[in-house]
Amino acid sequence: MDAITRQAEILKTIELKGNCTILDLAQQLGVSDETIRRDVKQLHAQGHVQKVHGGVRLPGALIESPFRQRMHHRVGAKQKLAEKAAQLISDGTTITIESGTTTFWMARYLTQQKQLTVITNGFEITRELCGRNNNRVFLAGGEASDSGMSTLGYSAIEFVQKFSPDICVISGSVINAEDGLCDFQLEEAEFARAAIKRAKKVIAVMDSSKFDRRAPLHVCDIDRIGILVTDAEPTGRLAESLNNVQVIVA
């Protein structure tokens, strides 16, 4: 399929749905994420579409924020992973939770645990856990991001480095055997790196659609992950690289 035909298909899909993620378009058209990103960049320059975090929408469309859009994507799968991840947290744990839609659902499932100390850059995570079961919640300062409903930047990184949590929970953009856990957004990758560096254990919560994909920004090597909570067993080289990681299939 040539670029003109592919871009026409992208427009047709977005006109039908109003918005779409890069991953969904890549899977639908059988091409790489980077190919879709180049197409979207051209369509955006021509004024046909508007780029948003992790996806694309019609220009000027009166739709939900990018974070709310992602909340509706693979909801059932995210809830299953989130519930399983929440079961790994004990009373009194000090835990850093990176902002994200899957980690939001995890925060919602942390209903039984008591006296948690939670460090996060997520507004929605803060709202879920603050005032529940005698928890203490610390929200990182910094520049507010509407796409992630979070705080980012130097102030957020400096804040999260003040803590030494038992566990850091992240939901990276992609994971592969060669590069480990990676992201597409610079400031999100920087925050995740800082949070991971301070934690005793790292729990990655991500569905199998993120397996064996690439992103330009390195977050951490696979051997830094203690537990991977996912919806399907990894295969091939990724499975081999995860030999020393506890993989939990929800």
pLDDT at 66: 63
User: How far does the chain reach from its first CA to its final CA, in angstroms?
Assistant: 37
Vertex 50, ends 47 and 56: CA angle to 5°? 130
The phi-psi region of residue 130 (left if phi > 0; otherwise alpha if psi is between -120 and 50; otherwise beta) is beta
pLDDT at 98: 96
Distance, CA of 157 to CA of 191 (rounded, Å): 5
pLDDT at 62: 43
What confidence tens digit (pLDDT) does each residue in 133-175 have?
999 999 999 999 877 889 999 999 999 999 999 999 999 889 9
Continuous segment of H or E residues that includes residue 195: helix 186-198
Mean pLDDT for the chain? 91
Q: In the chain, where are the structural domains located? A: 3-63, 75-249
Averaged over 73-101, what is the pLDDT? Answer: 92
Residue tagged 């021509």 (tokens): 46
pTM of the predicted structure, to 2 decimals: 0.74
Tokens found for residue 243: 């030999």
What CATH architecture is 75-249?
A: 3-Layer(aba) Sandwich (3.40)
Class of domain 3-63: mainly alpha
Q: What is the DSSP letter of 119?
A: E
What confidence tens digit (pLDDT) does each residue in 205-235 have?
999 999 999 999 999 999 999 999 999 999 9
Distance, CA of 201 to CA of 22 (rounded, Å): 31
Averaged over 31-37, what is the pLDDT? Answer: 94
